[in-house]
Amino acid sequence: MNPHFKQNIILIAEVIVPEIHENDAIKYAFIKNFKQIYQGLEKDSATKIKLLVKVTDKLSYVYNSSSFERLSYKKRAEYIEKLFQFPIGKIVGGLTGLRSLILISYYGVDDVWPSINYNGPVNSTLK
Amino acid sequence: MKDLNFDIIVVGSGVGGTTFTDYLTRKNPNLKVAILESGSYQTKEDFNQREIDMTALYYNRGAVLSKNLQIGVAAGNTLGGSSAVYTGVSFRPPNSVLNNWQKEFGLEFLTEKFVNRSLDEIEREISVHELPKSWDNDNNIFFQKGAKKLGIPVKRLKINTKDCLQQGFCNLGCTTGAKQGALEVQIPKILKKGVQIFCNTNVISIEENKVNVVVTDNPRNTNPNNLESGTYQLTAKKIVLAAGVLNTPAILLRSAKKLGLKNKNIGRYLTLHPAFNINGIHHKTIKNYRGFPKTVYSDHFSDTDNFYLETSFYFPGVTAKNIPGYGKMHQEIMKNYDKMMSILILVHDKAEFNNKITIDKKGNTVIDYSLSNNSKKALVKALQVATKIFFEAGCEQIMVPASDKLPLTPEDKKNIENLILEKYLNLYKTPLSSAHPQGGARMGKSAANSVCDNYGKVYGTKSIYVSDASLFPTSVKVNPYETIMLLSKWIAENIMK
Ligand SMILES: Cc1cc2nc3c(=O)[nH]c(=O)nc-3n(C[C@H](O)[C@H](O)[C@H](O)COP(=O)(O)OP(=O)(O)OC[C@H]3O[C@@H](n4cnc5c(N)ncnc54)[C@H](O)[C@@H]3O)c2cc1C
């Protein structure tokens, strides 16, 4: 993942799960999980996510007269909400898909589990 | 260089391919048989019940989306195929479906005698049984309580497990081998009989008696390959495609030119058994993530409204994905993971010509599927019924798609029919999913409406057969595992005749 892409994923993820915005250790663990999943995606899907992130950045100039990276947290959240209401279904569908990957990556972090009262996997054969 | 000539080559090591191989080699022990599997060689020792790691068992990490981005399809891409990650719910095909397949598609072999005798044997071999009531965790107990209050009859599910330790997350691979899928039942048996299995071996195309493959390096932490990486052409007297619904039709489409296939039905009549997994928050801590996730279901609405309800429960990430919304409120809802009840809605979708597996310019699978108006209606009605069950079971907050309000709370109880409506169902935003794809190489007496004949042979070919869920002429309406085994057994018992 190139640094710009990674940064934009974190910026979107912070809106999807505010805890990522508030806790650096969780942010680090989240992006590690996201990377693990992202690198296992088929090329076509990975390209589509890259494209979606690019579109998010580009549309930010139209809606906010600013790059996505420079938006305040509040503005970023408002802008993502706008994208979820976007008239082009495929943008909403793509964003919903990315939301899923973000949620799976975040809730896959061991240190998040106590906050949802999940005791972790029962497993007799951990390597 | 290994000898790459075989009597039979089977493409895919899922339940279709391995059941076929098992039955074939019972009657023909001297045949030289190979199974080619594009996934890697992993067994129970490699599974760890951790969500992030185990997404690797699935195609595209579990994120295969339809072309219109409205439905996600989950399928295993590993040794054992989807049987490595399935739950073990075992249904016989309903009589009404079998009658329809006999009458409309000419599948005359599906007589009551053949079906019952075969399924008695299959169920014995894969240890199908009803789970005792003592195994019901709170989710299953509360589901029954809620349904009873509403007068909705509930039945007990049958499962194929042996000595299950109830770890909870069957869909991340069973670490003890309790689940009697292909990894535990068929594969050990056929390996003993000398069948060779080649993993990380991707079948690109086929010709009469020829299979063109690319072998790639085995991923880290998986068992080594028995063929060096590279491109090969293998030969066989007969080729059996069992690459699953996402890939059997795609292989046929990629090979159509060389095979001279012009059948317009290839890839068509795809059904997905569209599903919602929804959650409610109970007032009690229920730790639904432990214990066998599903023991009961209701088919009460099957004939009238086209859906089944089953209990279910998922790991934290997938649960979060299934709960609509995001941000602070979503995070607060997730804090109640240990109080969550869960219901799986399964809609019977009609087999329609326009719903299909196609391929893109690179030859990759494309799922071209649109949800019909009937299916939308069924989903909405099912969401309303499931919400009522949650409330009657004691839930205080309910999070469902197609709802005008999130979460629904007890004061909404009387207004469910006005709050959950089709007009609120935005398919681009809802986590609609499928784990039961069917069709695409349907079996039938005539090439006019089918791809394979009554023996699974692809119309217009001499040596090519299909043995997996893509054979289904229509949706079987129930979880499809036993029906796949039934058809695979039939094909195996007749292929050498
Ligand atoms: C999470 C989950 C839970 C489920 N739970 C249940 C349940 O409880 N009860 C039930 O009845 N059903 C369940 N199902 C559905 C059931 O598991 C599947 O319908 C069934 O296993 C499909 O079997 P198959 O042989 O048709 O295909 P698959 O299992 O998909 O097997 C196809 C195999 O072919 C391989 N392959 C594909 N393309 C190629 C290629 N080009 N070259 C080589 N190999 C290739 C794949 O990697 C795969 O291993 C579940 C499915 C999932 C995903």
Mean pLDDT over the full length of chain A:
94
CA separation for the pair B265, B459 (Å, rounded)? 11
Q: B317 and A99 in contact by Cβ < 8 A?
A: no
The tally of CA atoms less than 13 A away on the side-chain side of residue B275 is 24
Cα Rg of chain B, angstroms? 22
Query: Based on the domain organization, do B110 and B238 belong to the same domain?
Result: yes
* Mean pLDDT within A117-124: 82
Start-to-end CA distance of chain B, whole Å, equals 32
Output the pLDDT for position B224: 87
CA separation for the pair A18, A27 (Å, rounded)? 10
Query: Based on the domain organization, do B263 and B337 belong to the same domain?
Result: no
Query: Based on the domain organization, do B418 and B450 belong to the same domain?
Result: no
Q: Which of B248, B252, B247 is nearest to B264 (CA)?
A: B252
Contact predicate B239/B329, CB 8 Å: no
**Phi and psi torsions of B357, nearest 5°:** -95, 125
Q: Is the pLDDT of residue A25 over 50?
A: yes
Query: Based on the domain organization, do B55 and B102 belong to the same domain?
Result: yes
Whole-number Å distance, alpha carbon B83 to ligand 1 midpoint, is 6
Residues in Cβ contact with A21 at an 8 Å cutoff, skipping those fewer than 6 apart: A14, A15, A27, A73
Whole-number Å distance, alpha carbon B77 to ligand 1 midpoint, is 8
A19 to chain B: which residues are within 8 Å by CB? 331
CA separation for the pair B289, B282 (Å, rounded)? 14
Question: Is B362 inside a domain boundary?
Answer: no
Query: Based on the domain organization, do B117 and B240 belong to the same domain?
Result: yes
Q: Is the pLDDT of residue A127 over 50?
A: no
Domains contained in chain B, number = 2
Locate tokens 């043995």: which residue?
Answer: B467
Query: Based on the domain organization, do B242 and B291 belong to the same domain?
Result: no
- What CATH number is attached to the domain comprising B265? 3.50.50.60
Query: Based on the domain organization, do B147 and B199 belong to the same domain?
Result: no
Question: Is B178 inside a domain boundary?
Answer: yes
Question: Is B166 inside a domain boundary?
Answer: no
- The torsion region of residue B12 among left (phi > 0), alpha (psi -120 to 50) and beta comes to left
Q: Is the pLDDT of residue A43 over 50?
A: yes
Residues in Cβ contact with B214 at an 8 Å cutoff, skipping those fewer than 6 apart: B201, B202, B204, B230, B231, B232
CA distance A3 to chain B (A): 22
Whole-number Å distance, alpha carbon B438 to ligand 1 midpoint, is 10
* Mean pLDDT within A13-33: 97
Q: Is the pLDDT of residue A124 over 70?
A: no
Q: Is the pLDDT of residue A125 over 60?
A: no
Query: Based on the domain organization, do B106 and B226 belong to the same domain?
Result: yes
**What is the SS3 string spanning B249-318?**
HHHHHHHHHHHCCCCCCCCECCECCCEEEEEEEECCCCCCCCCCCCCEEECCCHHHHCEEEEECCCCHHH
Residues in Cβ contact with B277 at an 8 Å cutoff, skipping those fewer than 6 apart: B312, B314, B318, B319, B322, B342, B343, B344, B345, B431, B433
Find out whether the peptide bond into B407 is cis, omega within 30 degrees of 0. yes
Q: A92 and B45 in contact by Cβ < 8 A?
A: no
CA separation for the pair B145, B263 (Å, rounded)? 51
Output the pLDDT for position B2: 66
CA separation for the pair B221, B206 (Å, rounded)? 30
Question: Is B432 inside a domain boundary?
Answer: no
Residues A70-105 pLDDT 10s: 999 999 999 999 999 999 999 999 999 999 999 999
- Residues of chain B with pLDDT > 90, as a percent, come to 94
Q: Which of B455, B439, B140 is nearest to B273 (CA)?
A: B439
The tokens for B132 are 């005792």
Question: Is B407 inside a domain boundary?
Answer: yes
Output the pLDDT for position B288: 82
In chain B, which stretches have pLDDT less than 70? 1-2
Query: What is the domain range of residue B280?
Result: 130-161+275-348+372-426
Q: Is B233 exposed, middle or buried (0-12, 13-18, 19+ CB in 10 A)?
A: exposed
Output the pLDDT for position B140: 95
Start-to-end CA distance of chain A, whole Å, equals 28
Question: Is B214 inside a domain boundary?
Answer: yes
Residues in Cβ contact with A22 at an 8 Å cutoff, skipping those fewer than 6 apart: none
Contact predicate B265/B490, CB 8 Å: no
- What CATH number is attached to the domain comprising B153? 3.30.410
CA separation for the pair B214, B199 (Å, rounded)? 11
Output the pLDDT for position B88: 96
B77 lines ligand 1 (CB under 6 A): yes
Pocket residue to mutate for ligand 1, from B128, B481, B486, B491, most atoms within 8 A of Cβ: B481
Question: Is B355 inside a domain boundary?
Answer: no
Pocket residue to mutate for ligand 1, from B436, B465, B485, most atoms within 8 A of Cβ: B436
B289 to chain A: which residues are within 8 Å by CB? 118
Secondary structure percentages of chain A, helix, strand, coil, to 5: 75, 0, 25
Query: Based on the domain organization, do B442 and B342 belong to the same domain?
Result: no
Alpha helix positions (H), B106-193: 112-125, 138-149, 186-192
Query: Based on the domain organization, do B402 and B472 belong to the same domain?
Result: no
The tokens for B244 are 């699953």
Contact predicate B278/B284, CB 8 Å: no
Neighbours of B406 (CB within 10 A): 16
Question: Is B358 inside a domain boundary?
Answer: no
CA distance B337 to chain A (A): 5
Q: Which of A15, A90, A92 sits opposite B327 (nearest CB)?
A: A15
Whole-number Å distance, alpha carbon B371 to ligand 1 midpoint, is 22
Q: Is the pLDDT of residue A126 over 70?
A: no
Output the pLDDT for position B240: 98
Query: Based on the domain organization, do B156 and B213 belong to the same domain?
Result: no
Question: Helices B15-27 and B481-494 sit at what angle, rounded to 10 degrees?
Answer: 30
Residues B400-423 pLDDT 10s: 999 999 999 999 999 999 999 999
Q: Which atom of ligand 1 is nearest to the CA of B468?
A: 26
Query: Based on the domain organization, do B192 and B245 belong to the same domain?
Result: yes
Alpha helix positions (H), B335-432: 373-393, 416-419
Q: A17 and B426 in contact by Cβ < 8 A?
A: no
Q: Which of B454, B486, B490, B491 is nearest to B119 (CA)?
A: B486
